[in-house]
């Protein structure tokens, strides 16, 4: 964490990263906290799915009468509220703060910057959420121009666009929920603008946060080239790239093709994002005047047999993990590829 400048987080990964970052911040501020204590891992892995389903039937469908107030404004107790409420309880309310609470710690580099970028489903752009103004993240990549001649702005700066509506007072948990608003599981979020901006999961645009990371490196390329020896881009994936190809093979039966078209589409969509992100990193390494080395950690434990993924079941994309899935995730770091990545990361940080 002492070497990290930016955390570009997506979907559920943003929640885990934010929780860990908050624990590190509190330790630096003098609290008796060990961010690596297993109890915090258990807290962030609690089941939050049941309250979402319960709210779907009691509030979203049947009643629609329960309300709550936050900073003097009344809202519905929908599935989104249920998720935030559960996360708040399980994490001992340490993320219960407004967005502006992170302005000073990020500005002083007490903790890394954390950028959240949910997808605006009106037009496919990103809503760039940060306690600072980050309009530079919405410019044309490799151009830095935003006029009509060179194309439209790629992202909307939340702090500037919604300044009149009190953007800095946004509940941080709501910002996290916006970036993890998986379709159907959680309701989309409508923001107070004209026309109304509607946002959903950041993964709709980039499931790995790589595009924002590379954009950040481009904007500050001159400073980085002058003051550093290079950049380490650490990516943490919920599954291995190779596993995508095997999952595609499993979905080729006629029956599965008929009953699981979404599964096929999701695999193809993630593969396309991988190809785009790999191309971006290669382009950045070619164009920037400093080296970028990518270190990747992947949740795919090695197994016996020729196919190292054959006995590994990917964790479900939900807010509930089984005991077996949690075990697989914790065991993943012992896989050969991840241990080699860890050794390389340590070597780079030590000047290797």
Higher pLDDT, 282 or 152: 282
Question: 12 pLDDT band (50/70/90 cuts)?
Answer: confident
**Residue 220 per-residue DSSP state:** T
Lowest mean pLDDT among 40-54, 60-74, 288-302: 60-74
d(CA 91, CA 252): 41
Give pTM, 2 decimals: 0.83
Percentage of the chain modeled with pLDDT above 70? 78
pLDDT number for residue 263: 53
Total residues belonging to the chain: 352
Does residue 60 surpass a pLDDT of 80? no
Q: What is the 3-state secondary structure (H, E, C) of 42-81?
A: HHHCCCCHHHHHHHHHHHHHHHCCCEEEECCEEEECCHHH
How far is it, in rounded angstroms, from Cα 147 to Cα 150?
6
Instruction: Evaluate whether 135 touches 164 at the Cβ level (below 8 Å).
Output: no
Q: Where are the domains of the chain?
A: 6-204, 220-349
CB environment 131-164: b (16+ within 10 A), e (fewer): bbebbebbbebeeeeeeeeeeeebbbbbbebbee
pLDDT at 262: 52
Whether the per-residue pLDDT at 24 is higher than 80: the answer is: yes
pLDDT higher than threshold 60 for residue 303: no
The pLDDT of residue 305: 45
pLDDT at 72: 78
More confidently predicted of 350 and 22: 22
pLDDT above 60 (res 246): no
């Amino acid at each position: 964490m002492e070497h990290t400048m930016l955390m570009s987080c997506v979907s559920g990964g943003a929640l885990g990263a934010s929780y860990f970052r908050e624990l590190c911040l509190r330790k630096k501020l003098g609290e008796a906290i060990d961010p690596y204590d297993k109890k915090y891992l258990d807290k962030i892995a609690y089941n939050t799915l049941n309250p979402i389903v319960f709210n779907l039937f009691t509030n979203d469908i049947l009643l629609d009468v329960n309300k709550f107030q936050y900073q003097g404004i009344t809202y519905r107790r929908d599935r989104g509220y249920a998720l935030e409420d559960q996360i708040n309880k399980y994490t001992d309310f340490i993320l219960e703060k407004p967005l502006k609470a992170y302005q000073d710690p990020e500005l002083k580099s007490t903790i890394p910057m954390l950028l959240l970028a949910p997808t605006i489903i009106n037009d496919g752009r990103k809503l760039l959420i940060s306690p600072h103004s980050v309009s530079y993240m919405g410019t044309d990549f490799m151009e830095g121009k935003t006029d009509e001649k060179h194309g439209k702005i790629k992202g909307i700066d939340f702090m500037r666009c919604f300044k009149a509506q009190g953007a800095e007072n946004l509940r941080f948990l709501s910002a996290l929920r916006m970036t993890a608003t998986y379709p159907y599981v959680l309701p989309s979020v409508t923001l107070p603008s004209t026309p109304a901006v509607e946002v959903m999961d950041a993964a709709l645009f980039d499931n790995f946060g790589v595009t924002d990371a590379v954009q950040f490196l481009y904007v500050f390329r001159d400073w980085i080239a002058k003051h550093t020896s290079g950049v380490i881009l650490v990516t943490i994936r919920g599954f291995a790239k190779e596993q995508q190809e095997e999952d595609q093979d499993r979905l080729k039966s006629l029956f599965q093709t008929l009953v699981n078209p979404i599964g096929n589409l999701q695999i193809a969509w993630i593969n396309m994002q991988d190809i785009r992100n790999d191309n971006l990193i290669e382009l950045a390494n070619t164009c920037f005047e400093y080296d970028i080395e990518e270190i990747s950690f992947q949740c795919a434990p090695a197994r016996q047999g020729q196919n190292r993924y054959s006995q590994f079941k990917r964790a479900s994309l939900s807010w509930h993990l089984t005991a077996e899935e949690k075990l697989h995730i914790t065991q993943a770091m012992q896989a050969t590829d991840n241990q080699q990545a860890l050794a390389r990361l340590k070597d780079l940080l030590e000047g290797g």
